[in-house]
Structure 1
Amino acid sequence: MSSVTAESSGSGSVPERARVRHGGSGPSPSLAVVEAIADLAGVDPADLPEEGVVLYEHVDPDALNSLVAGRSDADVSLTVAGYDVRVGPDSAVAQRSGN
């Protein structure tokens, strides 16, 4: 399982961003996106559909993996159900839209 790094800007405040590293022995880029959004939503990744977040309704996960995996110049940005996501060469970073 991967580790999520939460970033907040105040004492005890809700995390504003979540970063999940992907590749190597970690999750695929698309799974890293799901894990980062789940962390911000405060739910298990398997429960995201109940929160109205279904990744494949916004992007083809296989296409995202193909665009990013193993590329040092990867930089994909997308919005998924109210979350702004940037997928780079080694991590996915999600934040609530408008932050």
Structure 2
Amino acid sequence: MGSKNALPRDLESDGEPDTLEYEYDGETPASIAVIHAICALTDVDPIDAPTELGFVLHEHVDPDAIDALLADGTGNGETVVSFAVDADNTYTVEIDDDGCIEVQYRS
């Protein structure tokens, strides 16, 4: 997949959740890419994520399990992991083993 790309789709405040598609590859584990995707969607620096977002990922899901299930993003898209993070805001995350992450954010 080469480089990681954040592709914002609907970031307008129209009552619908904001959504971002993000790609990951073998250079960045899927669990780290999830944080990068959430940070891209919410315009937060990943270094500041625990404070700014109000959570750390391992409080909601096992990052090692995500990385083991989804490997390096070169799968065929048949393995999908989805979960929600309810912190100060709600994030719904869906990760495919083909390197695609979709994050929805609802405040």
TM-score (normalised: structure 1) = 0.80
RMSD across aligned positions (CA): 2.2
Give the 3-state SS of the residue equivalent to 2:69 in structure 1.
helix
**Which of the numbers 77, 81, 94 marks the counterpart of 1:76?**
81
Across the two proteins, how many residue pairs are aligned to each other? 94
Residue 43 of structure 1: SS of its match in structure 2? coil
Query: Which structure shows the higher strand fraction?
Result: 2
Counterpart in the other structure of 2:38:
37
Counterparts of 1:50-89 in structure 2 under 5 Å? 50-51=51-52, 52-69=54-71, 70-72=74-76, 73-80=78-85, 81=87, 82-89=90-97
Segments of 5+ residues of structure 2 without an aligned counterpart are none
Q: Percent identity?
A: 35
* 4+ long deviations beyond 6 Å: none
CA contact (8 A) 2:6 2:20 kept: yes
- The 3-state SS of whatever aligns with 1:83 is strand
Q: Residue type matched to 2:49 in 1?
A: L
What are structure 1's unaligned runs of at least 5 residues? Answer: none
SS at match of 2:44: coil
1:14-40 CA distance string (max 9 Å, x none): 682112211244x21111110111112
CA–CA separation in structure 2 for the residues paired with 1:48 and 1:62:
19
Work out which of the residue numbers 93, 97, 104 in structure 2 matches 1:95: 104
Distance 2:40 2:55 in 1: 12
User: 2: CA distance between counterparts of 1:77 and 1:62?
Assistant: 15
The Cα of 1:97 is off from its aligned counterpart by 4.2
